[in-house]
A and B are shown apart, each in its own frame.
Chain A
Amino acid sequence: MTKPRCSTIRRVAVHVPADRQTGTEIEDEVRSRNPGVRLMPGILRQMYGFEERRVAPPGSWPSDLAVAAGRRALDQAGLGPDAVDLLIYASVSEDVEEPATAHVVAYKLGVTAPVFDVQNACNGVLNALEIADALIRAGRYTRVLVTTGELGSRLSALPVRDRGELALLLPALTLGDLGAALLVEASDRPGIRAAVFCANSSSWPAATVANPYFGPSAPAPAVRFDSAALAASFPGLEARAFEALHAAGRKPEDLDLVCVHQPSVAFTRTILDSLDVPEDKAVPVFTAYGNVATAGLPLQLAQAARRGRLRPGDLVALFGLASGASGGLVLLEWSP
Chain B
Amino acid sequence: MTDTYDIIRSVLTGSFLVPEAELGPEATLEQLEPDSLALAEFALILDERLGVKIEAEHATRTTTLAEVTEYVDTLRASDTVTAP
Q: Number of contacting residues on B, CB 8 A?
A: 9
- Whether B36 and A43, one on each chain, are in contact in the complex, defined by CB atoms closer than 8 angstroms, is no
Is A232 in contact with chain B by the CB < 8 A criterion?
Answer: no
Residues of A within 8 A of B40 (CB): 40, 43, 46-47
Q: Which residue of A lies closest to B36 (CB)?
A: A227
Task: Report A10-52 residues with CB < 8 Å from chain B CB.
Answer: 40, 42-43, 46-47
Q: Mark B30-59, 1 if CB is under 8 A from A, else 0.
A: 000001110011011001000000001000
Does more than half of chain B's interface fall in helix, strand or loop, or is it mixed?
helix
- Whether B41 and A43, one on each chain, are in contact in the complex, defined by CB atoms closer than 8 angstroms, is yes
What's the least CB distance linking B44 to chain A, in Å?
Answer: 5
- Whether A163 and B44, one on each chain, are in contact in the complex, defined by CB atoms closer than 8 angstroms, is no
B-contacting 9-mer, from A90-98, A164-172, A186-194, A292-300: A164-172
Is A209 in contact with chain B by the CB < 8 A criterion?
Answer: no
- Partner among A40, A42, A163 whose Cβ is within 8 Å of the Cβ of B35: A163
- Whether B56 and A43, one on each chain, are in contact in the complex, defined by CB atoms closer than 8 angstroms, is no
Q: How far is it, in angstroms, between the C-alpha of A76 and the C-alpha of B21 when the chains are bound?
A: 68
Residues of B within 8 A of A47 (CB): 36-37, 40, 56
Residues of B within 8 A of A157 (CB): none
- Whether B44 and A43, one on each chain, are in contact in the complex, defined by CB atoms closer than 8 angstroms, is yes
Is A218 in contact with chain B by the CB < 8 A criterion?
Answer: no
Is A228 in contact with chain B by the CB < 8 A criterion?
Answer: yes
Q: How far is it, in angstroms, between the C-alpha of A166 and the C-alpha of B33 when the chains are bound?
A: 14
Q: How far is it, in angstroms, between the C-alpha of A254 and the C-alpha of B43 when the chains are bound?
A: 39
Is A266 in contact with chain B by the CB < 8 A criterion?
Answer: yes
What's the least CB distance linking A308 to chain B, in Å?
Answer: 33
- Measuring CB to CB, which residues of chain B are less than 8 angstroms from any residue of chain A? 35-37, 40-41, 43-44, 47, 56
- For the complex of A and B, the 10 pairs showing the least CB-CB separation, nearest first, are A47-B40, A167-B37, A46-B40, A167-B35, A40-B41, A46-B44, A42-B44, A43-B40, A227-B36, A40-B44
User: Beyond A40-B44, A43-B37, A170-B37: 10 further Cβ-contacts under 8 Å?
Assistant: A40-B40, A43-B40, A43-B44, A46-B43, A46-B47, A47-B36, A163-B35, A164-B35, A166-B37, A167-B37
